[in-house]
Chains A and B, each alone.
Chain A
Amino acid sequence: MGWALALHGGAGDIPRSLPTERREPRLATLRRCLDLGAAALRAGRPALDVVELVVRELEDCPHFNAGRGSVLTADGTVEMEAAVMEGATLRCGAVSGVSTVVNPVSLARLVMEKTPHIYLAFHGAETFAREQGVETKDPSHFITKDNIERLRQAKEANRVQIDYTQPMKGQSPQETKAPVDDNSQTGTVGCVAIDAAGNLATATSTGGLVNKMPGRIGDTPLVGAGTYANAICAVSATGKGEEIIRRTVARDVAALMEHCGLPLRDAAARVVAGTPRGTTGLVAVSGAGEVCMAHNTTGMFRACATEGGYAEVGIWTDEADGNGASVSIGL
Chain B
Amino acid sequence: MGWALAVQGAAGAISPSLPPELREPRLATLRRCLDLGAAALRAGRHALDVVELVVRELENCPHFNAGRGSVLTADGTVEMEASIMEGRTLRCGAVVGLSTVVNPISLARVLMEKTPVIYLAFDGAEAFARDQGVETKHPSYFITQDNIERLRQEKEANKLQSTKGQSPQEIPSPTDGNSRIGTVGCVAVDAAGNLASATSTGGHANKMAGRIGDTPIVGAGTYANALCAVSTTGMGEDIIRYTVARDVAAVMEHRGLPLRDAAVRVVAGMPRDTVGLVAVSATGEVCMAYNTIGMFRACATEAGHTEVGIWTDDVDANGESVSIRL
Contacts and interface: CB of A to CB of B under 8 A. Distances in A.
A259 B119 contact: no
Interface of A: 85, 90-92, 94, 96-97, 113-125, 127-128, 131, 160, 212-218, 222-225, 228, 241-242, 245-248, 251-252, 255-256, 259-260
17 contacts: A116-B160, A116-B165, A117-B208, A118-B240, A121-B97, A121-B122, A121-B212, A213-B124, A213-B128, A216-B120, A216-B124, A217-B120, A224-B243, A245-B218, A248-B246, A259-B250, A259-B254
Contacts of A222: 119, 217-219
B241 to A, nearest CB: 4
A260 B166 CA distance: 36
A125 B241 CA distance: 19
Residue with the highest number of chain A CB atoms closer than 10 Å, among B219, B220, B236 = B219
Residue with the highest number of chain B CB atoms closer than 10 Å, among A85, A116, A121 = A116
Contacts of B91: 246
Nearest to A222: B217
A120 B210 contact: yes
Interface in B93-121: 96-97, 115-121
B117 A216 contact: yes
Contacts of A160: 116
Contacts of A223: 217, 219-220, 240-241, 243
Contacts of B166: 116
B211 A119 contact: yes
B162 interface: yes
A118 B210 contact: no
A217 B119 contact: yes
B208 A245 contact: no
A90 B90 contact: no
B207 interface: yes
Given A122-B122, A215-B128, A246-B118, 6 more contacts: A119-B240, A120-B210, A120-B212, A215-B123, A216-B117, A246-B90
B96 A121 contact: yes
Interface string B73-105: 000000000000100001110001100000000
Contacts of A259: 250-251, 253-255
Contacts of A245: 92, 118-119, 218
A276 to B, nearest CB: 11
A127 B209 contact: yes
B307 interface: no
Given A119-B211, A121-B96, A213 B117 contact: yes
A114 B119 contact: no
Contacts of B90: 246-247
Contacts of B120: 213, 215-217
A116 B250 contact: no
B112 to A, nearest CB: 10
B95 to A, nearest CB: 9
A215 B122 contact: yes
A248 B209 contact: no
B218 A246 contact: yes
B208 A124 contact: yes
B247 to A, nearest CB: 7
Contact of B116 (A91, A97, A128, A242): A242
Interface of B: 85, 90-92, 96-97, 115-125, 127-128, 160, 162-166, 168, 207-213, 217-220, 223, 236-237, 240-243, 246-247, 250-251, 253-255
B219 A251 contact: yes
A251 B266 CA distance: 14
Contacts of B85: 246
A124 B213 CA distance: 13
A246 B224 CA distance: 9
A92 B240 contact: yes
A259 B219 CA distance: 17
A128 B75 CA distance: 13
A224 B210 contact: no
Contacts of A128: 162, 208, 210
Contacts of A121: 96-97, 121-122, 210, 212
B122 A97 contact: yes
B121 A251 contact: no
A213 B220 CA distance: 24
B227 to A, nearest CB: 13
B51 to A, nearest CB: 17
Contacts of B162: 114-115, 128, 131
A129 B267 CA distance: 34
Contacts of B255: 259
A154 to B, nearest CB: 13
B240 A123 contact: no
B165 A115 contact: yes
Nearest to B85: A246
A255 B160 contact: no
B208 A120 contact: yes
Contacts of B223: 248
A215 B116 contact: no
Contacts of B253: 259
Contacts of A251: 219, 243, 246, 250
Residue with the highest number of chain B CB atoms closer than 10 Å, among A122, A123, A228 = A122
B264 to A, nearest CB: 16
A245 B93 CA distance: 10
A259 B266 CA distance: 13
Contact of B121 (A90, A91, A215, A228): A215
Contacts of B97: 121-122
Contacts of A256: 254
A114 B240 contact: no
